[in-house]
Amino acid sequence: MCNDAATSKQRRYDRQLRLWGEHGQAAMEECSVCLINGSATSTETLKNLVLPGIGKFTIVDGAVVSEADLGNNFFVDESFLGSSRAACVTQLLQELNEHVQGAYVSEDISQVLESRPDFLNTFGIVIATQLPAKELQQVAAICANRLIPLIVVHSYGFMGYLRVVLNEHQVVEAHPAHEVPDLRVLAPPAELRAFIASRFGSFEALTSAQFAHVPYVVFLVKAVEQWSRANGGGRPKTYQHKKEIRVILEGYRRAGMQATQNIDEAIGAVNTALTLPTPKASLAALFAKARARVSELAAEAHAGSPTLHDSAVSPT
């Protein structure tokens, strides 16, 4: 049942999962949004959060649906004319994604904060649209005090502005376009060598079932070792060397055995796996700065050591 639910979610949010991954999707589904005012601008903003699947939202709006709303807001209905705009917008937005929880408060934000000063504390983000300056200052002060991100949106026909108000926001989750796996094939650690020697010392001794379950990294390591012995202990570097590694891998196939996907994986990984593990340029620069700083501290400690020794107080 859990697997079915996970698969259903992957199908539903396939495109965005490719963009920000499962971790980003989980963060979105845990988010609670407070939308102040149900204007056309605010409903379009919230629509773009409901579709990708935020956890829940609450609309705070004391207005009722008017004729003007029917002409510019896709998320109001004529049947709600004269009724709560917050209720109408909440109902129609929830129809876009049944997995999102929606709620509304049919009061102005000033009234809500007067009766419930801590109302905004439970939200992960607040979006204020078409809000007068006095109420906006009140909301901004609460959000700043509680460290709640605030997005201020105001539109004037075809013009408008957007302000993002938050103390600090860090994103340390890169998604490199061409990530190269670090399999340590050219410099395998001692533990990996020992594991391969003990479990896969001889492929000929393995049964067909065991051979079919050999990790492809094992084939790569063994092929590189075989190539290295035949080439004076060197490492494969050129395209020609990699072609020779592929030939060795092809030689591991067993006649009449079809379940050799692991060898196919090993051959497919030759171009990316046969690289020495080196830190990225940005990380190498960071390490260089750290080493320089450590050297400075060591020099300072060495220079100050006689003084420290002379001023030391012997225990009595």
Q: 42, 33, 69: which is closest to 160 by C-alpha?
A: 42
Does residue 36 contact residue 119 with C-beta atoms inside 8 Å?
no
Helix, strand, or coil (residue 129) = strand
Q: Is the pLDDT of residue 87 over 80?
A: yes
Whole-number pLDDT of residue 276: 75
Q: Is the pLDDT of residue 94 over 70?
A: yes
| pLDDT value for 48 | 93
CB 18 within 8 A of CB 64: no
Whether residue 139 contacts residue 120, with contact meaning beta carbons closer than 8 Å, is answered with: yes
Least confident stretch, 10-24, 25-39, 80-94, 172-186? 172-186
Q: Is the pLDDT of residue 309 over 50?
A: no
Instruction: Give, in order, the Cα–Cα distances in Å from 230 to each of 107, 247, 248.
Output: 81, 13, 11
The dihedral built from the CA positions of residue 236, 238, 241 and 243, taken in this order, carries a sign that is: positive
Contact in structure between 61 and 85 (CB atoms under 8 Å): yes
Q: What percent of the chain has pLDDT over 70?
A: 89
Q: Is 275 exposed, middle or buried (0-12, 13-18, 19+ CB in 10 A)?
A: middle
For 166, other C-beta atoms within 10 Å of its C-beta total: 13
Task: Give the helix ranges, DSSP H, for the chain.
Answer: 2-12, 14-29, 40-50, 67-72, 85-94, 109-115, 133-146, 190-199, 208-212, 216-230, 239-251, 261-268, 270-273, 281-311
Q: What is the pTM (predicted TM-score) of this model? A: 0.58
Residues in the chain: 316
Return the amino acid letter for 142.
I
Query: What percent of the chain stands above pLDDT 90?
Result: 59
Residue 311 has pLDDT above 70, yes or no: no
The mean pLDDT of 42-63, rounded to a whole number, is 94
Tens digit of each residue's pLDDT (9 = 90 or more) over 122-178: 999 999 999 999 999 999 999 999 999 999 999 988 899 999 998 877 777 666 666
Alpha-carbon distance 61 to 65, whole Å?
11
Structure tokens at 52: 């990708």
Find, among 108, 105, 112, the residue nearest to 130 by Cα: 108
Q: Which of 9-18, 102-111, 215-224, 256-265 has the lowest mean pLDDT?
A: 9-18
pLDDT in tens, 274-303: 877 677 788 888 888 888 887 777 776 666
